[in-house]
């Protein structure tokens, strides 16, 4: 049998993004030994790329903001298939989590009163995004990293886990490899937290990094956990489009929050077209461009421009504009902030300016940007219990982008950075609690052996499929079939392709040895990607309506029945079992409050 | 294409030569060496020359910055310095600006790079770095003295004040009857430009920037710190171009002395504008 | 623009290696990281490199392009090809090599652990009140993406290999961000002078030249710190005053 090293930890945190690090802080504070595993170096996880800010109703801007409004906005943004209790916890605890960051060393931008400055964002009624210029994610991850490091946990950098080790129905460890040496590692833990992020890598034009292959969801699924809302994949309306070298890279929503406008090739601000205004948001946005401009300086007496509608709405509008032949030179839409003046832009959006200037050769203080929706976020994920973040597998907890339930059918910008704080902490607290009352389970060496064989197979496999080639084909298939606009036909086509690729993936062959070998790494990642893609397609086919990020051209309306249902996907041998589960009911006091402020 | 084996300085480093093939990295160090050396030779020569430093023809009053303030002739002749009988007042004057520039954060960069090759340029290998592994930076004598840059700055401020007075004098012309009047010669302009550049250089000093506000952590906390914030911001703005001021002010001082020397020795004539 | 460029890539590990030429097809806006990905995807899937964001935000893809430390995702192919269409791509040379473009930068994480976190006294009211003018300065340092290019280029670490004596520029500004924090109460000068080895820096400014975030590491960070250290440890007048008046409370 293959050699491997075993490490023992009270709690194992898989993922060193914001949610993983926040969980680790709680675990260390509880006095338990904590191991953090990450595929990259510490501080490089996806969270570092977040730009706009973290939403929490601090109410620092002189507006009557509070958790109730945040609750309402989030439910609405999620088109009411979010778990109301999760949203309640979230909006109530978010302010504390953000303030706590200051204690840990974060340095947010300030208001004249010396408080944390907040900026407007799509779908949020008031200015609510706590930010640091347009590099909030960096501030957040670095702050948490510094804090966690002061507790001296063990950080396993550049380790990839590929298998959850089970003792009966309980998760008791995980197995994987050290990327730097290729050696196998096994972890034994009393509790495990998955904070593995999302899976935007399945699409061709993506703002996500190589890490976003959905390993967490994949491992949990393989171990029998329930996944939820997997059809809900968010397309961020503004991804870079040109030159091809930068395609997909994100243009933060803060550009629109700070005065950026969307224009088609006729120079029209098409978002003012009433056709694009959803029923749910009627009357809450500016009707005229003048009001939109006035709002920039007087936010209290004017309504925000429709460019700041939730992401799904704006993405769809862009899609339609381009389809109608009103697109830009390279098939996108123009985003223009140049009218705001160079000084303002460089102060408010420094890294955007830099990004366009150095990567795209475009000076956004003078020229419009060309943009097109890019895959951005995955609302779905591992089902979690609202209070404790425990999953349907005993001993396994999940938080952050890898968990489901908070964002429903569409995430509001800025809600993720607070999501990872609020539920990172909760997952950490409850995993620690669980670990205190539990022993190490039994590690079953046959599971390890099986996984080791799976991992090593590509070296000896007689086939000659190239893992990078397969990834590319998958990305193209998903981009085409499961993008913004979906139909039965397109989804079926994508699904068939995915199934074909799953078959071909069995004969992947890689060269070289195990030391830092990207080909070999991809060979395993693609299996997770293929499985997750299959689940996305199946769920999207199943949900015969349009809701949030799921836009079906063959079922263009939201249906009342589907509005009461979350789709659960669970492994059933080799097949994917889909379960219709009722959306948890809103507690009466929440529902009442909802009525009263509606 | 080359093949390399592991013989780098530290165990495990990439077995590759450290070389920067990107651009003409040697240009800047070379230029620095040439200009600083020329300036050094010129200054030494002028310091010992002890002549042509004060132009007073036609009622002018151009005093070379190398020799300002005019020291009483009598005593310096008898002062021993380094066991020598020194012959020029400039020696006693020049050590102050020299100390200021030698310990200046910008000049340190310039001469560490171009004279000490520590490093010659970014990502360019230092010659014989293995042999010089005992590098101590600014931790040991003599370089530890760089920490006293602020005192050189204090002296430089005094010199700047004196030179401002000389500049004013350069605009005041003596009539044959001993009375004075305002006037402008080419030399006056040279003096004015020089002192402005010198002031910009002096007051963009890093030590000054620290002294005037950089040392505070909270600017909004008191009245005093609030006003120092404003000055600190302005000094920071100047400080941003400290290297530029260092170069142009050195050239301008050089030229000013040369100008005085030239008109005093009759090499060419000063022209009255007004 | 050329249709093809040649990437002369270092392949190997610390025991030895070769520079291997790979021809890649260019497209508008192509960066060196794209070229490496193309090599991985179509020519040799064992080429090792790090990356994450491909948007100059995470600081993973550090390498030496034509001998100078840079982010691969921010370096346009067309700017770096010489007249023969050749670009040299090497790993960072200051850190031990793992494979190809991947180096062992773990020393930086060990250094980070030595720096005490922000310490705010209990009597400061919460939530914190801080003015923008008070945080501006440290926000610049907090832009750092930990690409470690400055650590790579710093001659104290690179040529003299004094990793035992000097924390390096990245950590000087990390301490600066804490030391200049309006609410921090920890005395950090001793660490700066002793363990941190600020005296090793001879402000030759290469760190500032390579920083992709355009942080003014020396002018705004290291030099002000040197002045603070001088205040405390070297300025005879200040030391005398302190002796007489007693230490100032911070
Ligand atoms: C460009 C961009 C901008 C964004 N802007 C905003 C914004 O302004 N506001 C906002 O709220 N949100 C924003 N988001 C979304 C937000 O950044 C992410 O959703 C959030 O950071 C996710 O954090 P996380 O902790 O869940 O996971 P991640 O940060 O993705 O971390 C995942 C971690 O899991 C590890 N991991 C994964 N698989 C494995 C495995 N198999 N073995 C071991 N480790 C593994 C990874 O190495 C990584 O450390 C943005 C996202 C992007 C891409
Ligand atoms: S200025 Fe100092 S820290 Fe920066 S590279 Fe030079 S010696 Fe290193
Ligand atoms: S200071 Fe600049 S060069 Fe150094 S690690 Fe940070 S971002 Fe990179
Ligand atoms: S890939 Fe993130 S900085 Fe280059």
Q: What is the CATH number of the domain that holds A527?
A: 1.20.58.100
Q: Which of chain B's residues have a Cβ under 8 Å away from the Cβ of C134?
A: 217-221
Q: What is the CATH number of the domain that holds A258?
A: 3.90.700.10
Q: Which of chain A's residues have a Cβ under 8 Å away from the Cβ of C132?
A: 109-110
Same-domain status, A353 and A474: no
Same-domain status, A358 and A465: no
Cβ within 8 Å, pair C227-B1: no
Same-domain status, C60 and C173: no
- Exposure letters A550-572 (e unless 16+ CB within 10 A, then b): bbbeebeebeeebeebbbbbbbe
DSSP 8-state secondary structure symbol assigned to residue A276? G
Q: Is the pLDDT of residue B81 over 80?
A: no
Q: Is residue A168 part of a domain?
A: no
* C53 or A242, greater pLDDT: C53
Report the gap between the CA of B30 and the closest CA in chain C (Å). Answer: 16
Same-domain status, C88 and C112: no
- Between CA A413 and CA A545, with CA A200 as vertex, the angle to 5 degrees is 75
Q: How far apart are CA A50 and CA A376, in angstroms?
A: 11
Let me know: does B145 contact B103? Beta carbons within 8 Å: yes
Same-domain status, C75 and C112: no
Domain stop point among A351, A375, A399 = A375
Overall domain count for chain A: 2
Locus of tokens 């995993």? A431
Domain stop point among A375, A397, A431 = A375
Residue B5 has a pLDDT of 36
Q: A573 phi and psi, to 5 degrees?
A: 65, -125
- Give the number of whichever ligand sits closest to the CA of residue A134: 1
Same-domain status, C112 and C204: yes
Q: Is residue C228 part of a domain?
A: yes
Q: Is the pLDDT of residue C158 over 50?
A: yes
Which residue segment(s) compose the domain that A558 sits in? 461-564
Residue A598 has a pLDDT of 46
Locus of tokens 């190398």? B66
Q: How far apart are CA B262 and CA A393, in angstroms?
A: 92
Mean pLDDT for chain B overall: 88
Same-domain status, C87 and C54: yes
DSSP 8-state secondary structure symbol assigned to residue A305? P
Where are the extended beta strands (E) located within C79-203? 86-90, 97-99, 102-103
Same-domain status, C149 and C191: yes
Q: The tokens of A308 are what? A: 């700041």
Let me know: does A415 contact A35? Beta carbons within 8 Å: no
Same-domain status, C127 and C238: yes
Q: The tokens of B169 are what? A: 């004098």
* A283 or B76, greater pLDDT: A283
CA nearest to A518 within chain C: C46
Best residue of C84, C139, C155, C216 to probe chain B, by most B CBs closer than 10 Å = C155
Q: Does the structure's ipTM exceed the value 0.85? A: yes
Q: Is residue A534 part of a domain?
A: yes
Q: Is residue C250 part of a domain?
A: no
Q: Collapse the DSSP code of A505 into the 3-class scheme (helix H, G, I; strand E, B; otherwise coil) and give the result.
A: helix
Q: How far apart are CA A11 and CA A8, in angstroms?
A: 9
Residue A280 has a pLDDT of 86
Q: The tokens of C171 are what? A: 């950590």
Q: Which of chain A's residues have a Cβ under 8 Å away from the Cβ of C177?
A: 107
Residue B7 has a pLDDT of 36
Overall domain count for chain C: 2
Q: pTM for the whole thing? A: 0.94
Nearest of C248, C119, C128 to residue C186 by alpha carbon: C119
Q: What is the CATH number of the domain that holds C212?
A: 1.10.1060.10
Q: A9 phi and psi, to 5 degrees?
A: -140, 145
Same-domain status, A243 and A362: yes
Locus of tokens 């979010």? A82
Q: How far apart are CA B128 and CA C159, in angstroms?
A: 9
- Average pLDDT on C212-240 reads 96
Q: A470 phi and psi, to 5 degrees?
A: -60, -45
Confidence of residue B151 (pLDDT cuts 50, 70, 90): very high
| Nearest Cβ partner for A142 among C40, C99, C142 | C142
Q: How far apart are CA C216 and CA B255, in angstroms?
A: 32
Q: Is the pLDDT of residue C116 over 90?
A: yes
Residue B132 has a pLDDT of 58
Quote the crossing angle between the two packed helices A415-436 and A18-29, to the nearest 10°.
40
B227 Cβ under 8 Å from any chain C Cβ: no
Residue A594 has a pLDDT of 76
Same-domain status, C231 and C120: yes
3-state SS track over B164-180: HHHHHHHCEEECCCCCE
Cα A121 off chain centre by: 17
Same-domain status, C84 and C110: no
CB atoms within 10 A of CB B188: 25
Same-domain status, C225 and C164: yes
DSSP 8-state secondary structure symbol assigned to residue A30? T
Q: How far apart are CA C228 and CA B234, in angstroms?
A: 20
Same-domain status, C31 and C114: no
Q: How far apart are CA A418 and CA A578, in angstroms?
A: 30
Q: Is the CB of C160 under 6 A from ligand 2?
A: no
Q: Is the pLDDT of residue C233 over 50?
A: yes
For the beta sheet containing A233-240, the strands, ordered from the edge strand earlier in sequence to the opposite edge, are A233-240, A369-378, A333-336, A261-263
Cα A415 off chain centre by: 10
- Between CA A221 and CA A225, with CA A223 as vertex, the angle to 5 degrees is 50
Q: Report CA Rg, chain B.
A: 23
Same-domain status, A357 and A477: no
Residue B25 has a pLDDT of 86
Q: Is the dihedral of CA C94, C99, C101, C102 positive or negative?
A: negative
Q: Is the pLDDT of residue B169 over 80?
A: yes
Residues 333 through 372 of chain A touching chain C, CB cutoff 8 Å: 351, 354-355, 358-361
B63 C-alpha vs ligand 4 centroid, how far in Å?
Answer: 58
Residue C20 has a pLDDT of 96
Q: How far apart are CA B12 and CA A150, in angstroms?
A: 29
Can you list the alpha helix ranges (DSSP code H) found in chain B?
27-49, 73-76, 90-103, 105-114, 149-170, 186-202, 206-209, 223-239, 242-265
Strand duo C16-25 + A154-156: pairing: unpaired
* Pick from A128-142, A379-393, B60-74, C62-76: least confident: B60-74
Q: How far apart are CA B6 and CA A583, in angstroms?
A: 62
Residue B90 has a pLDDT of 80
A488 C-alpha vs ligand 1 centroid, how far in Å?
Answer: 31
Identify the burial level of A177 via C-beta atoms within 10 angstroms of its C-beta, where 0-12 means exposed, 13-18 middle and 19 or more buried. Answer: buried
Q: Is residue C240 part of a domain?
A: yes
pLDDT in tens, B235-270: 999 999 999 999 999 999 999 999 999 999 999 999
Residue B72 has a pLDDT of 64
Domain stop point among A375, A396, A415 = A375
Cα A113 off chain centre by: 33
Q: How far apart are CA B194 and CA A186, in angstroms?
A: 72
Which residues sit with their C-beta closer than 6 Å to ligand 3? Answer: C 59, 144-150, 170, 173, 210-213, 215, 217
Q: A2 phi and psi, to 5 degrees?
A: -60, 140
- Average pLDDT on C121-142 reads 95
Q: Above pLDDT 90, what percent of chain B?
A: 68
pLDDT of chain A along its 598 residues, tens only?
A: 789 999 999 999 999 999 999 999 999 999 999 999 999 999 999 999 998 899 999 999 999 999 999 999 999 999 999 999 999 999 999 999 999 999 999 999 999 999 999 999 989 999 999 999 889 999 999 999 999 999 999 999 999 999 999 999 999 999 999 999 999 999 999 999 999 999 999 998 888 889 999 999 999 999 999 999 999 999 999 999 988 888 888 998 889 988 999 999 999 999 999 999 998 888 899 999 999 999 988 888 999 999 999 899 999 999 999 999 999 999 999 999 999 999 999 988 888 898 899 888 889 999 999 999 999 999 999 999 999 999 999 999 999 999 999 999 999 999 999 999 999 999 999 999 999 999 999 999 999 999 999 999 999 999 899 999 999 999 999 999 999 999 999 999 999 999 999 999 999 999 999 999 999 999 999 999 999 999 999 999 999 999 999 999 999 999 999 999 999 999 999 999 999 999 999 999 999 887 755 4
Question: What separation, in Å, do the N-terminal and C-terminal C-alpha atoms of chain B show?
Answer: 69
Nearest of B60, A181, A531 to residue C102 by alpha carbon: A181
Q: How far apart are CA B217 and CA C181, in angstroms?
A: 6
Domain stop point among C103, C124, C150 = C103
Q: The tokens of A393 are what? A: 């597998």
Q: CA–CA distance from C1 to each of A70, A212, C25, C29, C80 (Å)?
A: 51, 33, 11, 10, 12
Residue B89 has a pLDDT of 76
Q: Is the pLDDT of residue B26 over 50?
A: yes
Active site residues of A: 236, 256
Let me know: does B65 contact B163? Beta carbons within 8 Å: yes
Q: Collapse the DSSP code of A14 into the 3-class scheme (helix H, G, I; strand E, B; otherwise coil) and give the result.
A: strand
Same-domain status, C82 and C140: no
- Which atom of ligand 1 is the closest one to the Cα of A198? 30
Residues 155 through 194 of chain B touching chain C, CB cutoff 8 Å: none
- Between CA C116 and CA C127, with CA C122 as vertex, the angle to 5 degrees is 95
Q: Which of chain C's residues have a Cβ under 8 Å away from the Cβ of B5?
A: 15-16
Nearest of B99, B34, B33, B94 to residue B65 by alpha carbon: B94
Locus of tokens 């960051």? A101
pLDDT in tens, B190-237: 999 999 999 999 999 999 999 999 999 999 999 999 999 999 999 999
Q: Is the CB of C202 under 6 A from ligand 2?
A: yes
Which residue segment(s) compose the domain that C91 sits in? 4-103
Q: Is residue C34 part of a domain?
A: yes
- Average pLDDT on B9-25 reads 73
Q: Is residue A253 part of a domain?
A: yes
* Subunit partners of chain C (3 or more CB pairs within 8 A): A, B
């Amino acid at each position: 049998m293959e050699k491997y090293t075993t490490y023992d930890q009270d709690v194992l945190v898989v993922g060193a993004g914001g949610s993983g690090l926040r969980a680790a802080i709680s675990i260390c504070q509880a006095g338990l030994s904590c191991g953090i595993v990450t595929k990259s170096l510490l501080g490089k996880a996806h969270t570092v790329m977040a730009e706009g800010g973290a939403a929490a109703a601090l109410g620092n801007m002189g507006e009557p903001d509070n958790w109730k409004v945040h609750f309402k906005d989030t439910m609405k943004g999620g088109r009411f298939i979010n778990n109301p209790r999760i949203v309640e916890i979230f909006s109530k605890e978010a302010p504390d989590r953000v303030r706590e960051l200051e204690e840990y060393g974060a340095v947010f931008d300030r208001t004249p009163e010396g408080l944390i400055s907040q900026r407007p964002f799509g779908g949020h009624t008031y200015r609510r995004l706590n930010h640091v210029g347009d590099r909030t994610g960096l501030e957040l991850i670095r702050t948490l990293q510094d804090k966690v490091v002061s507790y001296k946990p063990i950080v396993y950098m550049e380790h990839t886990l590929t298998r959850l080790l089970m003792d009966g129905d309980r998760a008791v460890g995980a197995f994987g490899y050290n990327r730097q040496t290729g050696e196998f590692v096994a972890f034994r833990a009393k509790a495990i937290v998955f904070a593995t992020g999302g899976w935007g890598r399945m699409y061709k034009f993506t703002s996500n990094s190589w890490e976003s292959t959905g390993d967490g969801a994949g491992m949990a699924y393989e171990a029998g956990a329930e996944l939820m809302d997997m059809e809900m994949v968010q397309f961020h309306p503004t991804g870079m489009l040109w030159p091809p070298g930068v395609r997909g890279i994100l243009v933060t929503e803060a550009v629109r929050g700070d005065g950026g406008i969307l224009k088609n090739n006729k120079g029209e601000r098409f978002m003012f077209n009433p056709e694009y205004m959803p029923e749910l948001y009627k009357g809450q946005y500016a009707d005229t461009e003048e009001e939109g401009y006035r709002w920039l300086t007087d936010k209290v007496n004017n309504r925000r421009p429709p460019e700041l509608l939730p992401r799904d709405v704006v993405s769809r509008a862009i899609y339609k504009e381009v389809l109608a032949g009103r697109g830009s030179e390279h098939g996108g839409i123009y985003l223009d902030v140049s009218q705001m003046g160079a000084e303002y832009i460089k102060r408010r959006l420094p890294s955007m300016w830099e990004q366009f200037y150095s990567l795209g050769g475009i000076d956004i203080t003078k020229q419009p940007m060309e943009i097109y929706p890019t895959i951005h976020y995955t609302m779905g994920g591992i089902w979690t219990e609202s209070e404790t973040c425990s999953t349907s597998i005993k001993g396994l907890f999940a938080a952050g982008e890898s968990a489901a339930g908070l964002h429903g059918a569409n995430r509001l910008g800025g809600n993720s950075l607070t999501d990872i704080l609020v539920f990172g902490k909760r997952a950490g607290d409850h995993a620690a609690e669980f670990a205190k009352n539990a022993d190490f389970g039994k590690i079953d060496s046959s599971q390890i052996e099986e996984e080791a064989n799976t991992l090593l197979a590509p070296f000896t496999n007689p086939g000659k499929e190239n893992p990078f080639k397969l990834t590319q084909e998958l990305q193209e298939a998903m981009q085409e079939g499961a993008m913004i606009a979906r139909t039965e036909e397109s989804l079926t086509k994508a699904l068939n392709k995915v199934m074909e690729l799953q078959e071909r993936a069995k004969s992947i062959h890689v060269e070289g040895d195990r030391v830092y070998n990207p080909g070999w790494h991809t060979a395993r990642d693609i299996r997770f990607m293929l499985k997750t893609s299959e689940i996305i397609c199946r769920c999207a086919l199943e949900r015969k309506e349009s809701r949030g990020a799921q836009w079906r051209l063959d079922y263009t309306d939201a249906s009342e029945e589907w509005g009461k249902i979350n789709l659960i996907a669970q492994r059933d041998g080799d097949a994917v079992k889909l379960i219709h589960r009722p959306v948890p009911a809103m507690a009466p006091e929440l529902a009442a409050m909802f009525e009263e402020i509606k | 294409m080359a093949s390399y084996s592991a013989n780098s300085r530290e165990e495990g480093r990439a077995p590759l030569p450290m070389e920067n093939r990107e651009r003409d990295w040697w240009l800047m160090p070379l230029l620095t060496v040439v200009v600083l050396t020329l300036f050094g030779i010129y200054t030494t020569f002028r310091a010992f020359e002890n002549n042509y430093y004060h132009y007073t023809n036609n009622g002018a009053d151009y005093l070379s910055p190398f020799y300002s303030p005019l020291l009483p002739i009598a005593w310096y002749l008898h002062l021993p310095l380094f066991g020598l009988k020194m012959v020029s007042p400039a020696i006693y004057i020049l050590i102050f600006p020299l100390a200021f520039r030698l310990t200046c954060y910008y000049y340190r960069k310039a001469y560490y790079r171009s004279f000490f090759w520590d490093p010659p340029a970014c990502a360019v290998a230092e010659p014989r770095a293995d042999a010089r592994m005992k590098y101590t930076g600014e931790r040991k004598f003599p370089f530890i003295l760089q920490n006293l840059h602020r005192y050189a700055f204090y002296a430089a401020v005094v010199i700047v004040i004196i030179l401002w007075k000389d500049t004013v004098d350069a605009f005041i012309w003596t009539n044959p009857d001993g009375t004075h009047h305002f006037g402008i010669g080419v030399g006056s302009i040279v003096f004015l430009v020089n002192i402005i550049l010198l002031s910009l250089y002096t007051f963009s000093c890093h030590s000054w920037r620290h002294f005037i506000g950089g040392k505070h952590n909270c600017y909004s906390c008191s009245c005093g710190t609030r006003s120092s914030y404003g000055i600190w911001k302005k000094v920071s703005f100047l400080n941003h171009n400290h290297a530029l001021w260092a170069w142009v002010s050195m050239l301008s001082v050089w030229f000013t002395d040369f100008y005085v020397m030239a008109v005093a020795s009759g090499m060419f004539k000063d022209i009255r504008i007004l | 623009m050329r249709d093809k460029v040649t990437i002369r890539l270092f392949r190997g590990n610390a025991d030895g290696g070769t520079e291997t030429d790979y021809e890649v097809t260019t497209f508008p806006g192509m960066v060196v990281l794209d070229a490496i990905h193309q090599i991985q995807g179509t020519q040799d899937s064992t080429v090792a490199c790090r990356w994450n964001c491909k948007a100059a935000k995470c600081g993973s893809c550090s390498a030496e392009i034509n001998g100078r430390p840079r982010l691969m995702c921010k370096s346009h192919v067309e700017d770096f090809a010489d007249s023969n269409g050749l670009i040299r791509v090497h790993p960072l040379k200051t850190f031990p090599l793992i494979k190809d473009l991947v180096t062992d930068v773990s020393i930086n994480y060990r250094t980070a652990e030595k720096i005490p976190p922000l310490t705010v006294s209990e009597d400061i009211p919460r939530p914190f009140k801080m003015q923008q003018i008070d945080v501006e300065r440290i926000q610049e340092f907090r832009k750092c993406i930990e690409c470690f290019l400055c650590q790579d280029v710093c001659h104290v670490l690179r040529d003299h290999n004094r990793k035992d004596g000097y924390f390096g520029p990245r950590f000087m500004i990390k301490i600066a961000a804490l030391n200049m924090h309006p609410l921090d109460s920890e005395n950090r000068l001793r660490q700066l002078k002793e363990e941190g080895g600020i005296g090793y820096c001879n402000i030759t400014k290469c760190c500032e030249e390579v920083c992709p975030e355009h942080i003014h590491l020396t002018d705004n960070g290291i030099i002000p710190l040197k002045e603070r250290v001088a205040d405390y440890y070297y300025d005879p007048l200040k030391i005398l005053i302190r002796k007489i008046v007693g230490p100032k409370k911070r």
